Structure 1
Amino acid sequence: MLYTSEGRQDELTANIIRDRPEIEKAVKKACKLLNKLTPDGALYASAWVLADLIVSLMPDEEKALELSRIVQGQIEREFKIAYPEVAPAAMN
């Protein structure tokens, strides 16, 4: 959905559906650990995890930075869904 060709969307969706319970368990475990930190510490650590993941997936810096921008856009869209009462100008 983020970085795959249209021809692989069905495969990606099937893999996510199949692995969703395991992914949810891993996310809950990570959040439990990160929630023990201060809010700033938790956000820093989660960014560190995401950066390490992107580096492990992308062969070069340019592609890694591009994927990072795509992910950031997705995070912003999720915030807008989670906080619809916030004025759009406040999100910038």
Structure 2
Amino acid sequence: MPTIVVDVMPKPELLDPQGKAVAGALNRTGHSLVTGVRQGKRFEITVDGPVDEAVRAEIRTIAEEILSNSVIEDVVAIDFGDAELGADETAEA
């Protein structure tokens, strides 16, 4: 069963309090080379059967309409892995 990975990140112009907290903790613990952190979400979706163009289209729709909040987040990547149609796809944000 193929696994498809969808990555969602906060829009760059919005504050990311969780990322800011992580960056602050890293700085306080001596990891001063880190200047910023953004925290996002990763979804792993398993599908039955081959990943054809219809499956790809449905996953794109799910990513845009359900997995992300388009007001504050961007779908930054959809990785179809070793799916039938070839290489990984990066969503245009």
Shorter-chain TM-score bucket reads: 0.3 to 0.5
Structure with higher strand content: 2
